[in-house]
Structure 1
Amino acid sequence: MSDIEHCYNEPLVSVIVPVHNTERFISQCIESILNQDYKKTQLIIVDDCSNDKSCEICRKYAEDDARVINVRLHSKCGVSKARNVGISKAKGEYICFVDSDDFLKTGYIRKYVNLINQYKVAVVYGYHMYYQNGIFISRPKRVPKGYHSVEELSSNLIDDGTLTGILFGSACGAIYKSSFLKVNNISFDERLTKNEDGVFNLDLLSKCKKIYVTHYDGYCYRKWKSDTNVNILVPDDGLDMATEAIMQKHSNIMNFACQMKRRNVSIIFWNAINIGACSNSNIYNVRKLRSYMEKSTIDQDYKTLKIKQCSVYKRILIYLLYKKYHFLFCFVIKYIYPFVKRYR
């Protein structure tokens, strides 16, 4: 069979890329998709009202390659709306999501198509590598590779107690069966500004019985946004809105009460890190952290964590919070953590 005939017989894969002001990276993202060794793709770019050169760059790719569809939203609506628009335009048997500042290894799409075809599941989840300053960093694998029933994973889906959040917290680094999403009316919750990927996956997992997990990490997640010089001392309500959505839709999940306590500690943990990292003086941050922690429920919920399964740096940080060593916590976050986290 010739390469052309082989390509004709392969399933179409729709790759959805929401874009907002990523002119520095969007070309590498698009080219990593178009240059895959799997050619039968439909690239759907949804520009969420960028005000840099992203729109112009995307338009040029659409003019030059018939596989590319370029859609521009009339107002900034957020990543969930952009992805939902992409889903509505997807013609492929399978759907992948890629963020516009990330990129794929060359064999990524073929690898995922082969797996989802082989195991006949609604979704195949994988992992991504961090890409920072020209260096690739592998992430810990939270789920063993292989075929899994959703039931066996359900006691850890919302939070597995390792301060890492929703078990399948990203829609990227995965491939979805398009018909399954559409028949079950699964879409991204456009009200959410945080954890929208994780809630999307929880919605999907509530509808299916089996999934496949691969440890292949061909998705390259670019870490480029600086975490320094931030001034966010008051945690936003984005995670609270996601928590509310989870409680409304997924309260029947196994071990729900315990998982929600773990999630609460995870949110406290990451909010505390954001406070400690602020560019204000360390003393000022300590006062804000102490005030925040006095209102938290970490004392009651701490014991639900799986401390031994947490990474060393997380064990240290959560211990400092639990023991109320707020000054030391802020010092570590501001002056030591920025170096340690690069290699976590």
Structure 2
Amino acid sequence: MAPEVSIITPCYNAQQTLARTIESVLSQDFQSWELLLVDDKSTDDTCLQAEAFCDHDDRIKLIKLKKNAGAAVARNTGIDSAKGRYIAFIDADDQWENNKLSIQIGQMKEHGWPLSYTAYTRVDQTDSCINKVGVPATVHYRYLLKTNYIGCSTAIYDSEQLGKVFMPELRKRQDFGLWLRILKKTDFGYGINLALTRYRVQQVSLSANKRNTVAYNWRLYRDVERLN
């Protein structure tokens, strides 16, 4: 029987964090899932770690890309292989609270939501809380254009309602592009203002991160969304 949820995790040189990510999926109190680990030609022991988990749980599957292609290609490869109705994402350095899927899938089923997302906790390299990030109850296309409120590791969409929707093949901000594509197919995405995901903040300078975000947002708006 097919799983209800397909969870997509792109992996690149993630040997330091991948085990904790996988363990947070294994600890879910909602168990009808498959976890698709898509390795983007790692040069460390990421694949060996992934294979060890695959050997112990047949819901975990490893897909190896033949060349390094970036997170968008890795995630799209996972989406293409997914067997579940609900498509979820968790990055290889993030973690879920153990009731994340049960709460979120429960709300999606009860209300018929096509796209949902949750609040999240930002943590540092030692897993200490930096702050919690809340989310709006709903977003629509034009509202999301102003600010991407949806953290990738918090989002789930319903492929039965929307079909399989793929990310634009950008090196960064491809998740933002996916939410915009989905919101062209449905009126709203729906937020759950509970911090059900722990998002690991990478050690990069704030100013450099802001410059990169602006540059990739501009490319997304111009080349993908065809906006002035």
Is the TM value for this pair above 0.5? yes
Instruction: Write out aligned runs for 1:285-300 (5 A).
Output: none
Runs of 4+ in 1 over 3 A off after TM superposition: 137-140, 233-240
Cα distance in 2, alignment partners of residues 85 and 11 from structure 1:
18
Instruction: Write out aligned runs for 1:258-273 (5 A).
Output: none
Judged with a 3 Å threshold, the aligned counterparts in structure 2 of structure 1 residues 76 and 140 are, in CA distance, closer, same or farther, namely: same
Query: Unaligned 5+ residue runs, structure 1?
Result: 1-7, 160-164, 252-256, 258-344
Q: Structure 1 residue 174 and structure 2 residue 155: aligned?
A: yes
**Aligned with 1:225: secondary structure?**
coil
**What does residue 238 of structure 1 align with?**
216
Q: CA-to-partner distance for each residue in 1:310-344, whole Å, 9 max, x for gaps? A: xxxxxxxxxxxxxxxxxxxxxxxxxxxxxxxxxxx
Q: 2:130 aligns with which of 101, 124, 137?
A: 137
TM-score (norm 2): 0.88
**Aligned with 1:127: secondary structure?**
strand
Q: CA-to-partner distance for each residue in 1:46-91, whole Å, 9 max, x for gaps? A: 0000000001100111111111111000000110111111111111
Cα distance in 1, alignment partners of residues 3 and 148 from structure 2:
30
Cα distance in 1, alignment partners of residues 213 and 54 from structure 2:
40
Q: Which structure has more strand as a fraction of its residues?
A: 2
Instruction: Write out aligned runs for 1:122-271 (5 A).
Output: 122-132=114-124, 133-143=126-136, 145=137, 148=138, 153-159=140-146, 165-168=147-150, 170-182=151-163, 186-190=165-169, 192-227=170-205, 238-248=216-226, 251=227
Deviation at 1:25, TM superposition (A): 0.4
Deviation at 1:156, TM superposition (A): 2.3
Cα distance in 1, alignment partners of residues 183 and 119 from structure 2:
17
Residue 136 of structure 1 aligns with an amino acid whose one-letter code is C
Larger RCO, structures 1/2 (Cα 8 Å, 6+ apart):
2
**What does residue 285 of structure 1 align with?**
none
Residue 159 of structure 2 aligns with an amino acid whose one-letter code is S
Q: Which structure has more helix as a fraction of its residues?
A: 1
Q: Contact 2:123 / 2:131 at 8 angstroms: preserved in 1? A: no
Aligned residues: CA RMSD:
2.7
**What does residue 67 of structure 1 align with?**
59
**What does residue 329 of structure 1 align with?**
none
Q: Contact 1:128 / 1:218 at 8 angstroms: preserved in 2? A: yes
**What does residue 323 of structure 1 align with?**
none
Residue 144 of structure 2 aligns with an amino acid whose one-letter code is L
Cα distance in 2, alignment partners of residues 69 and 60 from structure 1:
11
Q: Contact 1:112 / 1:174 at 8 angstroms: preserved in 2? A: no
**Aligned with 1:207: secondary structure?**
coil
Greater Cα radius of gyration, structure 1 or 2: 1
Query: What is the number of residues matched between the two proteins?
Result: 226
Query: Unaligned 5+ residue runs, structure 2?
Result: none
Q: CA-to-partner distance for each residue in 1:112-144, whole Å, 9 max, x for gaps? A: 11010011011112122101133223434351x
Deviation at 1:236, TM superposition (A): 9.2
Q: Contact 2:5 / 2:87 at 8 angstroms: preserved in 1? A: yes
Cα distance in 2, alignment partners of residues 72 and 109 from structure 1:
26
